[in-house]
Amino acid sequence: MGSFDGLLLLDKPKGMTSHDVVLGVRRLVPRGLKVGHTGTLDPMATGLLVLVLGRATKSASHYQKLPKVYRGRVRFGQASDSGDLDGRVTREGPVPAFEAEGLRQAMSSFIGELEMPPPMYSAVKYKGKPLYDYARKGIEVPLKNRSCRVFEWELLDWTTPELGFRLRCSHGTYARSLAVHLGERLGTPALLSELRRESIGEFEIAGAITLDALSRLSQADVSGRLLQPAAAPA
């Protein structure tokens, strides 16, 4: 591979789409260089994006399939059309006086293999278009269940109306969907109020750089940050 063929670990800020980050990186590398990402983060979410540059874009599917670790928060008492705080609130309700142990038991019921539909506000495609295109136009389309696996879903803290969690899961798991389904299981509306991706496979957020910091580097220094992990397929 050449000097701009490899992986770049980015710490995505809140409010940007993953595509926005890709466009930002394209402005910092040689003109015409291919840049892609290996798994989206919603605009509300922050944290690790593994970008593929140059010939490494051919390996994107390998990195998309790696397990992921998140930290986040679920808010009870509200539901939205997107399943998170970026959406329009569609329902509100009282929050029962949950005990931490009851929350842990409910969360543990989602551990294992799951079949869940993707959120309507997601990049999953239907007839060639992402679901969020249909959702923004108010068009309903059939949602096909997707297989995923939750390895761990740990309660970190609980103060009404929000709980903090750590989630380790497979590719294709939507934290928003888990938040919504957890509320349904507990009999109260719920949404995802915060999410940060901490790792993707072997890659950790500690090794990532922000787009703002990257923009202050020379092209040579940007090239110097690219990774060539031994696990990458040929």
Half-sphere CA count of 162, side-chain side, radius 13 A: 13
Tell me the CA distances in angstroms from 203 to 10, 46, 66, 80, 166, one per residue in order: 11, 15, 10, 32, 17
Residue 28 neighbours by CB distance under 10 Å: 17
Give the active site residue among 5, 11, 20, 42: 42
CB of 9 closer than 8 Å to CB of 209: yes
Annotated catalytic residue 11: no
- DSSP conformation letters of 80-100: ESSSBTTS-EEEE-------H
Angle 70-87-192 (CA atoms, 0-180°, nearest 5)? 25
d(CA 78, CA 57): 40
With H, G, I as helix, E, B as strand and everything else as coil, classify residue 149.
strand
- Sequence-ordered list of residues with C-beta below 8 angstroms from that of 156, at least 6 positions apart, any chain: 71, 163, 164, 165, 166
Pick from 151, 150, 155: nearest CA to 103: 155
CB of 105 closer than 8 Å to CB of 186: no
Active centre residues (catalytic): 42
